[in-house]
Structure 1
């Protein structure tokens, strides 16, 4: 992994953010997939732009995208794209939608970008190079005690429907908790504002960009069993600011789930 890849990721994300803003709070058509998740012309257009730019810069690399499928995914260099993370936010005019881009080598995420177009915030994390927000270094918090932690719970409605006992436990966990969605809580964790983020029912393009950002900022991200989620994983994740906090969260998850 080279500094050139970080530069490419940052520049491609800037193009994607500008393109997404061109559709934001405008009249655009909305379709619904088989799983009832929405997709818009903006999702498809932004991903097409990003794929073309990746192909221009790295024509032999593989690409996996949410809207346009996969190309050369057996290549050791793989780019993973979520053009609009939070389409429900996007179509309702809510500014907390993001753009996610990950670069993987031999299956391991090396660079991740969480871009928040409407907030003009771009979080970049690279293995061995640290994490930044708009070019300035960021770091996770030093919180090591779960009882004092600020916790964000993504997809709480789904967790409540599937694991009501766990949801009840989560509602009593930490010092402060909020229900949330999509990628921004993970960016807040990487920048030291949030201590734990629980997430649920994810696809690879939902989380692969998060891991390099959080880990480069000093945090931890695993599935709920403590395993490192890779490109073939789908399901739940937990991210924490410190190893001590992460261990406590994993213990809670193991004890609260049936």
Structure 2
């Protein structure tokens, strides 16, 4: 086994053992076009609250949910920027759907690959726009917001703040699923027995052998385990440095050498 993959195996094996808002409004069907060739079952009349660094858009009966989301966004944005030691320059636009079914009926699902950036989680991210929905559970809603903000910051750090930078950077840097999906999961959910049992099951059943080709849940839990291990053994403060070294060297393994060596 090559040296550059040894740290992955050891990490996983180790884990197996143990302001006042301003108000405005716009009409979705006319002014915003996010998707292509999908029927809009109901045109939505959007309104929004404007804050210094982000907007929260809502529609009929969604005002209270938008107010709640705004408080969560304010807190989570600060927490995530502190964690990454990185501040966003661009404004984020959050569009909040009252129900998952209404989110699915929207026209944002069909976008070209060059427009959409969605690394993981249930939120959909298109440039600086984040689309989230309420499932009837405030804890899940907060988790979705937290994951979306983490994802936006990750994209900004690794691929640049504007669309042109992202296209050029993504052509040079390939990040495996376990790396980014695992990091988003690590930042979104604390380590728990469910995750631990999943990683043990994956190890026992040989699901992690082709590590850099992991997809879906295996990628999430394996990556979560690695970032958790790094945090416990080296401190969470090294994670922004790992991302930085990965970006400048255009190589995932190089970022981990600072821990491995």
TM-score range with shorter-chain normalisation? under 0.3
* Greater Rg by CA: 2
**TM-score, normalising length from structure 2?**
0.26
